[in-house]
Structure formats: C-alpha cells, structure tokens
Structure 1
C-alpha cells in the first residue's frame, strides 16, 4: 500500500468533511473547499478521521491513492489554518504597497505593476520589501505567489528581483575582467 495513502487524516475541531460522488466538501472556520476526487477511490469519514481506500492494487489506483489523500489533507489544513507564502523584494528602489486589495509593485519598470488578487486570496505588505500571500487553497496561493515572482524574476548576477522568502540566493560570479 501507499505509505502516504494509508495514513488517516485527523480532523481538527470545527472541520467537517462531506463525501459526494466525484468530490469531497471540506468546511472549516476559514471557509470551504471542494476537492475533486476519482470516483474509484473510497473515502471513509469516521469519528475525527478521514481515510482513503483504493479498490485494487492496480497501478492507476496506487497512484491515485496517495494523491487523493494529500489533496484532502491540504484542504483540511487550508480551511483550519490557511496557507501563507512570503516573498521578498531586493533591489535599489524596489518596493511594494497595498492599493485597495491589489498590490502595487515598483520593480524597475517605467511604470508600477498592479496585481489584483483572485477570489479567495489576500495580500499583506508588512514592510515595503515583503509581500505575504494568504488563502485557504494551497494550489492557488502557490500560483499567485509564482505570478508575483514572475513580474521581476531574481537576477543571477545582481541579487535583485522578487524572491521566495525561503529560496536560496545563488549568485553567478560574472566576468573575470580583461587580463593585461
């Protein structure tokens, strides 16, 4: 059996899980999410636990087993705690500020770049060089953070751009210069 797939998912207080054909509804204090699942997988909700069972040891069922369990576990964590992704802005004159719900980035272009958050995502700018992306959907939080980072990707030579907070910064040495 899948090592990840066979682990039960503990349900925190205030989180409910409802199983319908083809999807699982996870509801908690921060909101609700619908997780699409394969109708072949069997989801069992017991007292405070959710288990995912597969019908056979077929290769396809093995691969869906761990995936289904992880998607449901991410939804449970999202509606109970939420997800946060932090970005750092480095560079002279580079900064961010909130403009309503949107974030306005000044990152070396001739104009500021305004990024509107999709539904379910909020931005925080605790410092002019730090952006926090918050939401309950792990995939959406990661995608919005990647879109923000793509506005000005980190430079491999100059240590400037938009970085993930936990991203290691690797600088290339550049040219050695002319030898005389």
Structure 2
C-alpha cells in the first residue's frame, strides 16, 4: 500500500488543472506543463484536490501509484512557484556570468565554456561564484544543473570545481613525505 499515494495533491489558487484520460495539464503563473501518466493509475479531481488511485492490485499499479502522485505534485507546484537549484564555483580564476542567452563559464580550460540557456529556464549569477537555475519543470532544472556541474566536477584534494550548494565534497589527504 502506498503511503504517499493515499494523500491527495492540493491545487493552490491561481493554478488550473485539466485531466483528459491519462494526460494531466496544469497552467499557472510560470507557464503550462503537461504529463502523460501510465494506464495503471486513475486520476480524479474533486474541487482543489487531485486524487490518484491504482486501477487494479497488480504490483506495477501499486508502484506507479505514489510515483504518479509525486509527478502531479511536482507539476502543480512547478507552475505555481517553480524550482531552484543553486551551484557554487570553487577555484582560483573560476567564474561564471550570464551574457545574453548564454551562461559563460571560466573553469580553468584554455577556452570559455558557453552553455546556451533553454527556453523556460532562468539562470542568474548573483556573483561570479554562484549560479541559480530557476524553472517550472523540476526534471529540466535538475538536468541543466547536472550538465553545468559536469563541465568541472569538484575534485577531492582541493575541492576545486562546480558543486551543488548543499553538496559536501569529501576531501582526501595529499601525498606524505
């Protein structure tokens, strides 16, 4: 029995949810998102609550029950508030800045790394060593943060590189004489 799936998703004011078959679309102040859910779950809307129930008692249906509920919650909260991922840059001479529709990173390579900012995503650099990625789609925000981090992941000896703000880099001891 899914503990997560038992609870309904509350739809806040200003968000419109439309259900047609297994396609759920939500429209809010940050845009419109839609998702196609599996046939193993049933979606119902009652007022400002969205309920998810399994269609049968199969193992797949019970597994997808909680998953579908959390996907719906992410879409509803995404079009209402959005999601933010913060990155930090550590290292001498490492910095980032937004130039037009590109994020320009100087990460110790012989050239600048230019990352085009996709539509629907907002990237800000409050200072040269911090990056904030904001958008309505949680999966897309996380994917972009992972791609930027992959340009120069943090190394374990000095901690240089791009890391998530909440990430802790396990440091190793250097060579001994």
Alignment TM-score, normalising by the size of structure 2: 0.97
The answer on 1:63 being equivalent to 2:72 is no
Query: What are the Cα deviations for residues 11-53 of structure 1, in whole angstroms up to 9, with x where unaligned?
Result: 1101111111231101111111011101231111111111101
Shift, 1:100, TM fit: 0.3
Over residues 127-169 of structure 1, what are the superposed CA-to-partner deviations in whole Å (9 max), with x where a residue is unaligned?
A: 0000001100000000000000001010111111001000012
Distance 2:160 2:37 in 1: 41
- Residues 102 and 114 of structure 1 are in contact (CA less than 8 Å); yes or no, is this contact kept in structure 2? yes
> In the alignment, which residue of structure 2 is the partner of 1:172?
172
Task: Tell me, in whole angstroms, the C-alpha distance in 2 between the residues paired with 1:168 and 1:7.
Answer: 33
Query: 2:163 — aligned with what?
Result: 163
CA contact (8 A) 1:154 1:161 kept: yes
Show structure 2 runs of 5+ residues with no match. Answer: none
Pairwise CA distance, 1:90: 0.4
Gaps of 5+ in 1: none
TM-score by length of 1: 0.95
Q: Is the 8 A contact 2:22 2:36 kept in 1?
A: yes
Q: Superposed, which structure 2 residues align to 1:130-169 within 5 Å?
A: 130-169=130-169
Structure 1 partner of 2:90: 90
2:8 matched to which residue of 1?
A: 8
CA RMSD of aligned residues (A): 0.9
Return the alpha-carbon distance in structure 2 between the equivalents of residues 28 and 51 of structure 1: 19
Counterpart-to-counterpart distance in 2, 1:155 and 1:89: 12
- Structure 1 residue 109: deviation in Å? 0.2
Check whether the contact 1:152–1:161 (CA below 8 A) recurs between aligned residues: yes
* Number of aligned residue pairs: 177
Instruction: Please name the residue that 1:108 is paired with.
Output: 108
Determine helix, strand or coil for the equivalent of 1:35. strand
